[in-house]
Homo-oligomer: A and B are copies of this chain.
Amino acid sequence: MQDHAKPLDSESNGEQNPPQRAHQGRKAVITRDDLIDAALKLIGPHRSISTLSLREVAREAGIAPNSFYRHFRDMDELAIALIDRAGRSLRKIIGEARNRASPERSVVRSSVEAFMEQLNGDERYLHILLREGTVGSDAFKQAVERELNFFEEELRVDLIRLAETNNTGIYEPALVAKAITRLVFAMGATAMDLPLEKRAEIQEQMTTMLRMIVVGTQTMAQSDTIRL
């Protein structure tokens, strides 16, 4: 929640204001978001944020290297902003998938499908959360960890709701959510390097694994109830 004046929204007067009318010999003004976009363009299956250089990003954004400092203190600051954005975007997508879930299409299965759809598509946000969690600075890893925690929390709430609706028990819902999230991300990371036709197999495996966890927690909830 930085209070940097992010985009210049001062020209939100409704009409297409030509504020850069007199910039013929000059570069258009660049925003933080433009730089984040540039970094995003450079990220791919074989490039992680941590391997990007400041100069590369500046080049991609079309500004001089030193201009980078007008927007970010260093690449780490940009990386964290990027992770935040990636997490927010992904949660939105998975959240929508959950809301489309029905008694026929379980929450878990819908989420896995949405997840793998993102993986198979051109979506780069997923790559970020998948890869960057294990390398980089501490602040960096904490940012990824925080996003994962958001996922877990949202899944936890959904699992509890689901257990009440279906009248099935659930043992340690927080741990179930964590196990599912971590497992999906770990499997997703390996799936990323596989050709598309093998990913379907991974998705199948993931679903079975999650089913084991769900059956496990339900069974344990029952014996818990019995024991009490």
Name A residues whose Cβ lies closer than 8 Å to a Cβ of B: 46, 48, 50-51, 130-131, 133-135, 137-138, 141, 145, 171-172, 175-176, 178-179, 182-183, 185-187, 189-190, 193, 205, 208-209, 211-217, 219-220
Q: Shortest beta-carbon distance, A199 to chain B, in Å?
A: 15
Q: How many copies does the complex hold?
A: 2
Task: Decide if B145 touches A190 in the complex (CB within 8 Å).
Answer: yes
Closest 5 CB pairs of A and B: A216-B216, A212-B216, A215-B216, A186-B186, A179-B209
Q: Shortest beta-carbon distance, A100 to chain B, in Å?
A: 26
Residues in B whose Cβ lies below 8 Å from that of A193: 138, 141, 145
Q: Could you name 22 residue pairs across A and B whose Cβ atoms are closer than 8 Å?
A: A51-B135, A130-B134, A134-B134, A134-B189, A135-B135, A141-B193, A145-B193, A172-B212, A175-B205, A179-B183, A182-B187, A185-B186, A186-B186, A211-B220, A212-B213, A212-B216, A212-B220, A213-B213, A215-B215, A215-B219, A215-B220, A216-B219
Per the bound structure, the CA–CA distance linking A141 and B194 in Å amounts to 11
Q: Shortest beta-carbon distance, A126 to chain B, in Å?
A: 13
Residues in B whose Cβ lies below 8 Å from that of A186: 182-183, 185-186
In addition to A211-B220, A216-B219, 14 A-B residue pairs with Cβ atoms within 8 Å of each other are A48-B135, A50-B135, A51-B135, A131-B134, A133-B134, A138-B193, A175-B208, A175-B209, A178-B209, A183-B186, A209-B213, A212-B213, A213-B216, A215-B220
Q: Quick one: given A208-B175, A211-B216, are A135 and B131 in contact (CB under 8 Å)? A: yes
